Structure 1
Amino acid sequence: MANLPVIDFAPMLSDDPKGRSRLASELRAACIANGFFYATGTGVSPEAAADAIAAAKEFFTLPEAVKLTISQARSPHGRGYESMSNQRLEPGAEADLKEGFIMGVDLPADDPRVVAGWPQYGWNLWPEGMDAWRARVEAYHAAMIECAGVVMRALALSLDVEETYFDDFRREGVATLRMLHYPPQPKDASAAARGAGAHSDWGGVTILLQDEVGGLQVKNGEDDWIDAPPIPGTFVVNLADFMPRWTNGLYRSTVHRVINRSGRERYSLPFFFDGRGDYVSETIPTCIRPGETPRFAPLSVNQHLAEMYAATRAA
């Protein structure tokens, strides 16, 4: 694929059977080909998206000492501030040249899932004296949970199952928002330097809001890197690792990376919709042809997230 398709999800927000059928067909083709596409018409307003980027910029301009008051080191749930070069997503590459703020569904310490130690279930860390900023971030997070529901329902239709098929996966699922800041890549950077190393995502779907700078690259079916530049009014959506498991390899979870050669600061907000911790993926019946057997063993969200999170912490 020389370019990623732009797909309009507006039919999912109206009573438009023909539009939904067209959407399902376009989405199926994109998911088989590359598992990456641009999305419009998801119900998230341009104003909400612009404010989310502005909120990210505000956070990363805070003094380092302030950001460190909510360091991930203080959180047993991977929430809070992620220092520069704390993660290495690509084995053999340098640590990722980015910093982040991570939040998710806020749960109290006595929630049974928190007590049981489910990965990514817990409470958020927030900078003091920034209640209005916190409210803006929480509002965007809530909007993205709704957006993910729209995408997941459309994905179900693309697989010839009821649009409610993924509702059990979605219910009380891990829904993680990361605000990311990528400084410009140094001009003398080594060939192993990355803003975010080559990787696939882990759960159900990722919905990415980019600023205008660019730097995202996707590996296509010919094993070439293609750019996924920002398109105003869109998100970049990619399938994560549970989709191939569900579809017996029909749909792809594609490797991607970020290299910021723009000479400018880059900001992006990936929203990871990874599903309910005790949900176990099993092959969707419509994805098994006569005589075929499932290629993937059942796997729980909890097991997968714990393994992947541990594997990508920078040494």
Structure 2
Amino acid sequence: MSELFPVLDLRDAERGPQARAAFLDRLRAAVHDIGFFQLVGHGVTGADELLDLARRFFALPEPQRAALSILNSPHFRGYSEVGRELTQGVPDQRRQLDIGPEQPFAPPGADDPSYRWLAGPNQWPAGLPELAPAVQRWTADLTGVAHRLLGLILEALDTPAHFLDEVVAPDPHVHFKLLHYPGPPQAADEGDDDGSGQGVGIHKDYGLLTLLLQDDKGGLQVAVEDGVFLDVPVVPGAFVVNLGELLEVATRGYLRATTHRVVRPAPGVDRYSAPFFYNPRLDAAMQPLPSPFVSAAEGVVHDPANPLFAGYGANVMKGMLRAFPEVIARHHPELMPAR
């Protein structure tokens, strides 16, 4: 196995043929062996300012945040208080603001797939007008980094670097969250497993790549084998990068969408983070990569509780049905599972 959570410098890919080859070797090992790594040298600035905006947003009076409730949005955009989102049926102990590509509201037709509801407008706080332009700049910068990184991953697998351009162009369905994990009022009793320590529960990401900006509090844990989780170190200036389920599908399991979770901070501690999810178009479907590594792969993980779909829209709607049942019940009752 490669070094756990290696730190890769994106600038090494442009420092000549030898440095690029070494970078690609380390990248291939990281995405195959563990599916998580730390990325520096990415050229994106403004991380401290963005985390400060996150703190300011979650410090707004609760009525201002509640006015942006995700329950108001058929597109799953907006504010969620502690416990609103579920992971494996257990309420996550975090606050969040979900943001997607800014698009006008266009109700899907009767014969359109349900994932068309994921396209629509965001909800922004009137009391923090600088948030929207800052997030839009940030997501534009990270879209560029993620697309470049995706091409390098393909190159590391002996696949043409532009092979997946057709599934992301012209409008990748990126997703961005501002997250606040508040520590509990008091420490849980030893052995207590009521979910109160679940910042966000055990899960995989739905799309292609995730780039996570986190503060210095830690809490992200990755499953290195069944039931064994290790803490991801905090590396100043780095994005934590992990793979989504669509890359597992496209590589027939040679790359894995690694299971991970976030544990809730200690009492009195607040953790802030900002994950960016780089995804295909909603209507795009993945095809196996033309790669010798993929040809020899054993196939995706078959989990009856979490089937993997080649179409991004279907794969992400699978997650929305489980994560936000109250949004489904209010806006999309026809999608509610039969009892």
* TM-score scaled by length of structure 2: 0.84
Residue 314 (structure 1) shift: 5.8
SS of 1:22's partner is helix
Q: Which residue of 1 aligns with 2:99?
A: 103
2:310 corresponds to 1:299: yes
Q: Which residue of 1 aligns with 2:272?
A: 267
2:312 corresponds to 1:308: no
Q: Given that residues 72 and 82 in structure 1 are in contact (C-alpha distance below 8 angstroms), is that contact kept between their aligned partners in structure 2?
A: yes
Residues 221-240 of structure 1 show CA distances to partners (whole Å, capped at 9, x for unaligned) of 36411001211010100001
Of the candidates 236, 241, 248, which is equivalent to residue 237 of structure 1? 241
Q: Given that residues 120 and 174 in structure 1 are in contact (C-alpha distance below 8 angstroms), is that contact kept between their aligned partners in structure 2?
A: no
> Pairwise mapping of residues 69-108 of structure 1 onto structure 2 (< 5 A)?
69-91=67-89, 94-108=90-104
Q: Which residue of 2 aligns with 1:208?
A: 212
Residue 82 (structure 1) shift: 1.4
2:282 corresponds to 1:277: yes
1:103 maps to amino acid: I
Q: Which residue of 2 aligns with 1:176?
A: 175
- The range that moved more, 211-220 or 190-199, is 190-199
Q: Given that residues 55 and 137 in structure 1 are in contact (C-alpha distance below 8 angstroms), is that contact kept between their aligned partners in structure 2?
A: no
- The range that moved more, 256-265 or 270-279, is 256-265
Residues 42-97 of structure 1 show CA distances to partners (whole Å, capped at 9, x for unaligned) of 2212xx11111111001000011000111111111111111211112134xx3110
Between the aligned partners of 2:5 and 2:316, the Cα distance in structure 1 is: 28
Q: Which residue of 1 aligns with 2:21?
A: 21
Residues 113-154 of structure 1 show CA distances to partners (whole Å, capped at 9, x for unaligned) of 9x9552532111111243223211221121111121122111
Between the aligned partners of 1:289 and 1:53, the Cα distance in structure 2 is: 42
Residue 110 (structure 1) shift: 4.4
- The range that moved more, 34-43 or 297-306, is 297-306
* TM-score scaled by length of structure 1: 0.90
SS of 1:281's partner is coil
- The range that moved more, 173-182 or 71-80, is 71-80
Q: Given that residues 202 and 261 in structure 2 are in contact (C-alpha distance below 8 angstroms), is that contact kept between their aligned partners in structure 1?
A: yes
Q: Given that residues 215 and 262 in structure 1 are in contact (C-alpha distance below 8 angstroms), is that contact kept between their aligned partners in structure 2?
A: no
1:22 maps to amino acid: A
Residue identity (%): 29
2:40 maps to amino acid: T
Q: Which residue of 2 aligns with 1:289?
A: 295
2:50 corresponds to 1:52: yes
Residue 22 (structure 1) shift: 1.7
Q: Which residue of 1 aligns with 2:64?
A: 66
Q: Which residue of 2 aligns with 1:5?
A: 6
SS of 1:130's partner is coil
Q: State the aligned residue count.
A: 308
Please report the RMSD computed on the Cα atoms of aligned residues, expressed in angstroms: 2.4
1:253 maps to amino acid: A
Residues 16-62 of structure 1 show CA distances to partners (whole Å, capped at 9, x for unaligned) of 333322221111101111101111112212xx111111110010000
Point out where structure 2 has 5 or more consecutive residues left out of the alignment. 302-307, 327-339
Residues 280-308 of structure 1 show CA distances to partners (whole Å, capped at 9, x for unaligned) of 11211214437x88669872111111111
Q: Given that residues 179 and 272 in structure 2 are in contact (C-alpha distance below 8 angstroms), is that contact kept between their aligned partners in structure 1?
A: yes
